[in-house]
A and B are shown apart, each in its own frame.
Chain A
């Protein structure tokens, strides 16, 4: 069956360091992979999208990589700040249906940036 795995335990990072979050998937051939941020009691907020033919994408302090051979995406936050503390969700868009069949999310990784 299809499966998405993210670090289920909280990730504690010291302020100013780079935080790296992992998303692994099995039995998928995603056309796209998206990362969202979710704060407690709120809906997810879109951060970045990367396509299957892209290796890397950047946006300000964020960087995402996508390795379809390893079936893995890495999400990096450089120069991390306490305000980056949140849960980060990996979501896959299947190749068929044009993404219209909804996103499939991982459980998310709870990131804590300590001052």
Chain B
């Protein structure tokens, strides 16, 4: 399967714990995006990378959220000191850089539940 993969698919944690999610994009895609989706809402953009450079991070929800893409391949999203309001589906997407308005290929998401 050469699609976008995310790990884990589900994560249950206690409030105050740190969690880290991984995203493996389609191999030839140099752009990688993170979104958050809550029930009944569309995905909400968080941040994106072009290769290893994080070009937009002002939309990260708070300073508890951080993302990395150290070698321009896979990416991680970390949430520190989780809160119940962080419970959501975290989606990763990738796209090739071929100009404007590229379609994005989404992974299956990581569902986070904070108790």
Contacts and interface: CB of A to CB of B under 8 A. Distances in A.
B2 interface: no
Contacts, number: 71
B103 A46 contact: yes
Interface string B72-103: 00000000000000000001010000011111
Interface residues of B, number: 30
B101 A43 contact: no
Interface stretch (A13-21, A56-64, A69-77, A95-103): A95-103
Contacts of A101: 45, 48, 56
Contact of B45 (A49, A102, A108): A102
B106 interface: yes
A42 B48 contact: no
A100 B103 contact: no
Nearest to A104: B45
A45 B68 CA distance: 24
A105 B31 contact: no
A103 B100 contact: no
Interface string B24-47: 000000010101000011111111
Interface of B: 4, 31, 33, 35, 40-48, 50, 55-56, 59, 91, 93, 99-109
19 contacts: A4-B42, A32-B101, A43-B91, A43-B93, A43-B108, A44-B104, A45-B106, A46-B104, A46-B105, A49-B103, A89-B43, A91-B42, A98-B99, A101-B48, A101-B56, A103-B104, A104-B45, A107-B41, A107-B42
